[in-house]
Amino acid sequence: MTEMFTLLNTPDDPAHDAMVEKKSEFIGDACHVDSLDEALAFVETIRERHPKSRHVAYAAICGGADGRLSERMSDDGEPSGTAGKPILDVLRANGLTDCAVAVTRYFGGILLGSGGLIRAYSTGASLAVKAARRARIVPCRMYRVRLEYAQIGSFQRIVSAVDGEQTGQEFTDRVTVEVSVPMEQAETFETRLRETFNAAVVPETMDAVNRAVPLAE
Protein backbone atom coordinates (compact mmCIF):
# COMPACT_ATOMS: atom_id res chain seq x y z
CA MET A 1 0.00 0.00 0.00
CA THR A 2 1.30 3.45 -0.91
CA GLU A 3 2.35 5.49 2.10
CA MET A 4 -0.32 7.99 3.09
CA PHE A 5 -0.43 11.15 5.15
CA THR A 6 -2.98 13.28 6.96
CA LEU A 7 -3.26 16.77 8.40
CA LEU A 8 -3.24 17.51 12.14
CA ASN A 9 -4.97 20.91 12.11
CA THR A 10 -8.43 20.71 13.68
CA PRO A 11 -11.67 21.91 12.03
CA ASP A 12 -11.94 24.80 14.51
CA ASP A 13 -8.34 25.89 13.81
CA PRO A 14 -7.60 24.89 10.20
CA ALA A 15 -4.44 25.60 8.23
CA HIS A 16 -5.05 28.76 6.23
CA ASP A 17 -3.62 30.73 3.33
CA ALA A 18 -4.90 32.89 0.46
CA MET A 19 -4.03 34.26 -2.96
CA VAL A 20 -5.49 36.76 -5.45
CA GLU A 21 -6.00 36.02 -9.15
CA LYS A 22 -7.35 38.81 -11.38
CA LYS A 23 -9.00 40.53 -8.42
CA SER A 24 -10.72 37.33 -7.20
CA GLU A 25 -9.52 36.20 -3.77
CA PHE A 26 -9.14 32.46 -3.15
CA ILE A 27 -8.90 31.45 0.51
CA GLY A 28 -7.80 27.92 1.37
CA ASP A 29 -8.59 26.18 4.67
CA ALA A 30 -7.46 22.62 5.45
CA CYS A 31 -8.00 20.33 8.43
CA HIS A 32 -8.17 16.79 9.75
CA VAL A 33 -11.56 15.03 9.70
CA ASP A 34 -12.54 11.51 10.75
CA SER A 35 -15.52 11.16 8.41
CA LEU A 36 -17.12 12.73 5.35
CA ASP A 37 -19.94 14.01 7.57
CA GLU A 38 -17.35 15.85 9.65
CA ALA A 39 -15.95 17.28 6.41
CA LEU A 40 -19.38 18.64 5.46
CA ALA A 41 -19.74 20.21 8.91
CA PHE A 42 -16.31 21.84 8.48
CA VAL A 43 -17.33 23.31 5.11
CA GLU A 44 -20.47 24.77 6.69
CA THR A 45 -18.35 26.56 9.32
CA ILE A 46 -16.27 28.04 6.49
CA ARG A 47 -19.45 29.26 4.78
CA GLU A 48 -20.52 30.91 8.02
CA ARG A 49 -17.18 32.72 8.24
CA HIS A 50 -17.57 34.03 4.69
CA PRO A 51 -21.26 34.92 4.23
CA LYS A 52 -20.49 37.34 1.37
CA SER A 53 -18.31 34.96 -0.64
CA ARG A 54 -19.45 33.77 -4.07
CA HIS A 55 -18.36 30.12 -3.77
CA VAL A 56 -16.99 27.66 -1.19
CA ALA A 57 -15.74 24.65 -3.13
CA TYR A 58 -14.22 21.70 -1.28
CA ALA A 59 -12.90 18.15 -1.42
CA ALA A 60 -12.41 15.53 1.27
CA ILE A 61 -10.87 12.05 1.50
CA CYS A 62 -11.34 9.57 4.36
CA GLY A 63 -10.34 5.98 5.11
CA GLY A 64 -7.61 3.81 3.70
CA ALA A 65 -6.82 1.66 6.75
CA ASP A 66 -8.70 -1.20 5.10
CA GLY A 67 -7.47 -0.28 1.62
CA ARG A 68 -10.62 1.65 0.67
CA LEU A 69 -10.87 5.42 0.37
CA SER A 70 -14.05 7.52 0.34
CA GLU A 71 -14.03 10.86 -1.48
CA ARG A 72 -16.41 13.78 -1.79
CA MET A 73 -16.17 17.12 -3.58
CA SER A 74 -18.29 20.09 -4.68
CA ASP A 75 -17.84 22.87 -7.24
CA ASP A 76 -20.44 24.94 -5.32
CA GLY A 77 -21.78 26.63 -8.43
CA GLU A 78 -18.55 26.98 -10.37
CA PRO A 79 -18.48 25.33 -13.83
CA SER A 80 -18.34 21.54 -13.49
CA GLY A 81 -14.84 20.21 -12.89
CA THR A 82 -13.20 23.61 -12.26
CA ALA A 83 -13.21 23.74 -8.45
CA GLY A 84 -13.89 20.55 -6.47
CA LYS A 85 -11.87 18.29 -8.80
CA PRO A 86 -8.70 20.45 -8.72
CA ILE A 87 -8.89 20.51 -4.91
CA LEU A 88 -9.36 16.73 -4.80
CA ASP A 89 -6.40 16.30 -7.16
CA VAL A 90 -4.21 18.23 -4.70
CA LEU A 91 -5.22 15.86 -1.88
CA ARG A 92 -4.52 12.83 -4.05
CA ALA A 93 -1.17 14.20 -5.27
CA ASN A 94 -0.06 14.70 -1.65
CA GLY A 95 -1.16 11.20 -0.62
CA LEU A 96 -3.59 12.61 1.94
CA THR A 97 -6.52 10.99 3.72
CA ASP A 98 -8.76 11.84 6.68
CA CYS A 99 -8.77 15.52 5.73
CA ALA A 100 -10.81 18.21 4.03
CA VAL A 101 -9.85 21.34 2.11
CA ALA A 102 -12.25 24.20 1.37
CA VAL A 103 -11.38 27.03 -1.02
CA THR A 104 -13.51 30.16 -0.68
CA ARG A 105 -13.77 32.58 -3.62
CA TYR A 106 -14.61 36.26 -3.48
CA PHE A 107 -15.39 37.22 -7.07
CA GLY A 108 -13.40 40.19 -8.33
CA GLY A 109 -15.45 40.95 -11.42
CA ILE A 110 -13.12 39.38 -14.00
CA LEU A 111 -13.96 35.98 -15.48
CA LEU A 112 -11.06 33.52 -15.26
CA GLY A 113 -12.23 30.86 -17.71
CA SER A 114 -12.10 27.15 -17.00
CA GLY A 115 -8.30 26.91 -17.09
CA GLY A 116 -7.90 29.92 -14.84
CA LEU A 117 -10.39 28.57 -12.31
CA ILE A 118 -8.71 25.16 -12.21
CA ARG A 119 -5.32 26.74 -11.57
CA ALA A 120 -6.68 29.13 -8.94
CA TYR A 121 -8.57 26.47 -6.95
CA SER A 122 -5.61 24.10 -7.20
CA THR A 123 -3.25 26.81 -5.95
CA GLY A 124 -5.61 27.78 -3.12
CA ALA A 125 -5.80 24.16 -1.99
CA SER A 126 -2.03 23.67 -2.31
CA LEU A 127 -1.32 26.75 -0.19
CA ALA A 128 -3.61 25.48 2.58
CA VAL A 129 -2.04 22.02 2.55
CA LYS A 130 1.45 23.52 2.58
CA ALA A 131 0.53 25.60 5.65
CA ALA A 132 -0.79 22.54 7.52
CA ARG A 133 0.91 20.30 10.04
CA ARG A 134 1.25 16.84 8.52
CA ALA A 135 1.42 13.31 9.89
CA ARG A 136 2.22 9.90 8.44
CA ILE A 137 -0.68 7.42 8.41
CA VAL A 138 -0.08 4.01 10.00
CA PRO A 139 -2.98 1.64 9.12
CA CYS A 140 -3.88 -0.33 12.26
CA ARG A 141 -6.13 -3.15 13.35
CA MET A 142 -8.22 -2.57 16.46
CA TYR A 143 -8.58 -5.38 19.02
CA ARG A 144 -10.64 -5.86 22.14
CA VAL A 145 -8.98 -8.20 24.63
CA ARG A 146 -10.33 -9.56 27.93
CA LEU A 147 -7.69 -10.31 30.54
CA GLU A 148 -7.28 -11.49 34.09
CA TYR A 149 -5.64 -8.86 36.26
CA ALA A 150 -2.53 -11.04 36.61
CA GLN A 151 -2.12 -11.07 32.82
CA ILE A 152 -1.98 -7.29 32.34
CA GLY A 153 1.78 -6.88 32.69
CA SER A 154 2.61 -9.57 30.13
CA PHE A 155 -0.04 -8.23 27.77
CA GLN A 156 1.33 -4.68 27.95
CA ARG A 157 4.81 -5.94 27.10
CA ILE A 158 3.44 -7.66 23.99
CA VAL A 159 1.59 -4.49 22.95
CA SER A 160 4.77 -2.44 23.35
CA ALA A 161 6.83 -4.96 21.36
CA VAL A 162 4.53 -4.64 18.31
CA ASP A 163 4.30 -0.84 18.52
CA GLY A 164 0.68 -1.04 19.65
CA GLU A 165 -1.29 1.65 21.47
CA GLN A 166 -3.88 1.16 24.18
CA THR A 167 -6.97 3.21 23.33
CA GLY A 168 -9.42 2.18 26.06
CA GLN A 169 -9.96 -0.02 29.09
CA GLU A 170 -12.75 -1.16 31.37
CA PHE A 171 -12.40 -2.76 34.80
CA THR A 172 -14.89 -5.31 36.15
CA ASP A 173 -14.05 -8.77 37.50
CA ARG A 174 -11.64 -8.82 34.55
CA VAL A 175 -9.97 -6.14 32.44
CA THR A 176 -11.22 -5.35 28.93
CA VAL A 177 -8.62 -3.48 26.89
CA GLU A 178 -8.83 -1.97 23.41
CA VAL A 179 -5.59 -1.61 21.46
CA SER A 180 -4.54 -0.54 17.98
CA VAL A 181 -1.78 -2.56 16.32
CA PRO A 182 -0.07 -1.68 13.00
CA MET A 183 -1.38 -3.94 10.24
CA GLU A 184 2.11 -5.23 9.51
CA GLN A 185 2.40 -6.35 13.15
CA ALA A 186 -1.12 -7.78 13.56
CA GLU A 187 -0.17 -11.39 12.81
CA THR A 188 2.81 -11.19 15.19
CA PHE A 189 0.57 -9.72 17.89
CA GLU A 190 -1.96 -12.56 17.60
CA THR A 191 0.80 -15.17 17.60
CA ARG A 192 2.50 -13.68 20.67
CA LEU A 193 -0.82 -13.68 22.54
CA ARG A 194 -1.44 -17.36 21.75
CA GLU A 195 2.07 -18.37 22.75
CA THR A 196 2.21 -16.29 25.93
CA PHE A 197 -1.21 -17.24 27.29
CA ASN A 198 -1.48 -20.78 25.82
CA ALA A 199 -4.47 -19.69 23.68
CA ALA A 200 -6.41 -18.71 26.82
CA VAL A 201 -6.56 -15.09 25.63
CA VAL A 202 -8.39 -14.66 22.32
CA PRO A 203 -8.40 -11.12 20.87
CA GLU A 204 -11.64 -9.85 19.32
CA THR A 205 -10.91 -8.24 15.95
CA MET A 206 -12.53 -4.84 15.43
CA ASP A 207 -12.37 -2.17 12.73
CA ALA A 208 -9.35 -1.01 10.79
CA VAL A 209 -8.27 2.50 11.79
CA ASN A 210 -5.69 5.09 10.82
CA ARG A 211 -3.09 6.17 13.37
CA ALA A 212 -1.50 9.57 12.72
CA VAL A 213 2.21 9.84 13.51
CA PRO A 214 3.38 13.48 13.37
CA LEU A 215 6.23 14.18 10.98
CA ALA A 216 9.41 15.69 12.41
CA GLU A 217 9.45 19.47 12.05
For residue 1, the model assigns a pLDDT of 57
- What pTM was estimated for this model as a whole? 0.87
DSSP of the chain, one letter per residue?
----EEE---TTS-EEEEEEETTEEEEEEEEE-SSHHHHHHHHHHHHHH-TT-SEEEEEEEEE-TTS-EEEEEE-TTSSTTSSHHHHHHHHHHTTB-SEEEEEEEE--SS--HHHHHHHHHHHHHHHHHHHS-EEEEEEEEEEEEEE-GGGHHHHHHHHHHTT-EEEEEEESSSEEEEEEEEHHHHHHHHHHHHHHTTT---PEEEEEEEEEEEPP-
What domains does the chain contain, in order, with CATH numbers?
A: 4-132 (3.30.230.30), 139-214 (3.30.70.240)
Whether residue 217 has pLDDT greater than 80: no
pLDDT in tens, 124-154: 999 999 999 999 999 999 999 999 999 999 9
Whether residue 214 has pLDDT greater than 80: yes
pLDDT in tens, 59-115: 999 998 888 899 999 999 999 999 999 999 999 999 999 999 999 999 988 889 999
- The chain-wide mean pLDDT, for the chain, equals 94
